[in-house]
Amino acid sequence: MKKIGIIDIGSNSMRLVVIKINDDLSYRVIDEKKETVKLGMDMTYDGNLSRDRVDKAMISLSFFKDMCIAIGVDEIIAVATEAVRRARNQQYFVERAKDMLGIEIKVLSGKEEAFYDYFGAVNTLDFNDALIMDIGGCSNQLILVKDKKIIESVSLPFGSLNLSEKFHLKEAVNEQNENDFITYLADEYNKIPWLNKAKGLPLIGIGGTIRGIGKINRKRNHYLLEMPHNYKMEIRDIKDIYELVKSKDVSQKQKLKGLSKDRADIFTGAVGAIAHLAELCEASEILVSGSGLREGLFFEYLFKDKKPLTDVLDYSINNIVNDFELDKLHAQRVWSFSKMLYFNLKDAHNIGEAPQKILKTASLLHDCGVNISYYDHHRHSFYMILNAKTYGLTHKEQLMAAHISAFHRKEEFKIDTYKYRNILNEADILTIQKLGVLLKISECLDERLNGNIQGIQCSIDEDSVTIKLSSKDNPEIEIKDALEVSSAFKKLFGKKLYIK
């Protein structure tokens, strides 16, 4: 087992994430810390970082190092981006961190920063083609991705800090400043010769600004899942939030639900930059990525290469199974039975969309709740699947998988239809209930935990479904327990259930 700390020294904020890597290379984030230093602000006329800001950065780095020592971190990876990259006193900053704290900082080029943004997103979101945007304090990384590969990238010299300063966007924006701001954005974006290739693609946003936009949007829409990663919006959502904040002063923006107070003074410009780009590229949707540079650095460290995952969900599920030390053979057998039942009973369940990803997640992770307590672990599994980093699923898919897993022991688990009314429709709830029954049957078929049931065959008649088992030993107990779902099966599938 090993623990690593990754420090990201940005133009606006500095962040530490601590990750535990197990011997089987599964991993888990175990701590993180953010400090708003605004290193890119108050730079001198000749391009040096402000001494006061550098002092504040060193205090934050010292705090991060103390955290790492207390946690038992084995290795620290520290990188700096645009503010340090363009500072004339870059070497002074880097040497001071090394001499005072023993922390070696790598100053990333714009291309390197773009790669790590891409590598964090592509390994935690299920997409092939997209335009990725990471707007920081003093720079804006744009990365065009096709077939999971970087095709083009550029680092633009503006971000939330310098846009706010340049166009006086801290307070309510007057018409002249806004016109100058929009003209500047249009000129900068029009300099990118390949940007037309991004027309109609999803726009994936990375960084504090897009997370803030997502949080405000969730509050406005009474969206009750506190899941920033893979949250989806439309162009009009971004434009509406820009229109909302541009007319407000700092104190008014600080009162906005979802916006952190330390970002209120630099928020308007960055939102405008995202809104303008999304409209210019006619983005099909805007996705929030909770993963970016730090996660990209971590995945390169873990994988020992720069190749993206071929299946984000598979890797994510396996990571959780290994990290939680679940019974892999049992989980695989339950998933195998669930999959066979789903495909063999297609004519009986009449589920429209093929929910294989959802059923797979629920089947493989249904026992994860035992990490909290064996008793009522189906309820704990619901919470854990809903809140785990189950990458590769939409929010709806993750919520459905969590509910399905909770049905594997107790039929009376209730779906809060009111709470999730803007995420789950009636068809989704019926799918959850049907797949929950199939998972319950599958769990019972392997409750001996030794692979006693070796195969199943299904036949569908006008008023019944028969499941025939092949087994090594007498499956009387498995059959008895599986048939506990008979009444629910009759209600949901409209047929009697026989198992023999």
- What is the residue type of 289? S
CB atoms within 10 A of CB 282: 12
Query: Which pLDDT value is given to residue 417?
Result: 82
Given a contact cutoff of 8 angstroms between Cβ atoms, the answer to whether 395 and 230 are in contact is yes
> Phi first, then psi: what are they for 497, rounded to 5°?
-110, 130
Show the domains of the chain with their CATH numbers.
2-107 (3.30.420.40), 111-294 (3.30.420.150), 312-499 (1.10.3210.10)
Per residue of the chain (500 residues), give pLDDT as tens.
Answer: 999 999 999 999 999 999 999 999 999 999 999 999 999 988 898 999 999 999 999 999 999 999 999 999 999 999 999 999 999 999 999 999 999 999 999 999 999 999 999 999 999 999 999 999 999 988 999 999 999 999 999 999 999 989 999 999 999 999 999 999 999 999 999 999 999 999 999 999 999 999 999 999 999 999 989 899 999 999 999 999 999 999 999 999 898 888 888 898 999 999 999 999 999 999 999 999 999 999 999 999 999 999 999 999 999 999 999 999 999 999 999 999 999 999 999 999 988 766 899 999 999 999 999 999 999 898 899 999 999 989 999 999 999 999 999 988 765 678 888 889 889 999 999 999 999 999 999 999 999 999 999 999 999 999 999 999 999 999 999 999 999 999 999 999 999 999 99
Please tell me the distance from the alpha carbon of residue 393 to that of residue 395, in angstroms, as a whole number: 6
Residues with Cβ within 8 Å of residue 353, at least 6 apart in sequence: 431
CB atoms within 10 A of CB 470: 10
The token pair at 358 is 């959802």
The partner residues of 436 in beta bridges, in order of sequence, read none
34 membership: H or E segment, kind and range:
strand 27-36
In the block, residue with structure tokens 């070796």: 454
75 by Cβ neighbours in 10 Å (0-12 / 13-18 / 19+) ranks as exposed
Given a contact cutoff of 8 angstroms between Cβ atoms, the answer to whether 392 and 319 are in contact is no
In the chain, % helix, strand, coil (3-state, to 5) comes to 50, 15, 35
Please tell me the distance from the alpha carbon of residue 2 to that of residue 19, in angstroms, as a whole number: 8
What secondary structure does DSSP assign to 205-247, as a single string?
EESHHHHHHHHHHHHHTT------TT-EE-HHHHHHHHHHHHT
Query: Which pLDDT value is given to residue 496?
Result: 96
Burial readout 181-190 (b: 16 or more C-beta within 10 A, e: otherwise): beebbeebbe
The token pair at 318 is 């396996």
Please tell me the distance from the alpha carbon of residue 20 to that of residue 75, in angstroms, as a whole number: 11
In the block, residue with structure tokens 């720069």: 306
Q: How far is CA 369 from CA 56, 154, 285, 407, 422, in A?
A: 42, 44, 34, 13, 26
Spell out where 137-296 has E strands: 140-146, 149-156, 203-206, 232-233, 286-289
The token pair at 377 is 């672990």
Please tell me the distance from the alpha carbon of residue 397 to that of residue 358, in angstroms, as a whole number: 6
Please tell me the distance from the alpha carbon of residue 122 to that of residue 145, in angstroms, as a whole number: 9
In the block, residue with structure tokens 């291309």: 111
Query: Which pLDDT value is given to residue 353?
Result: 66
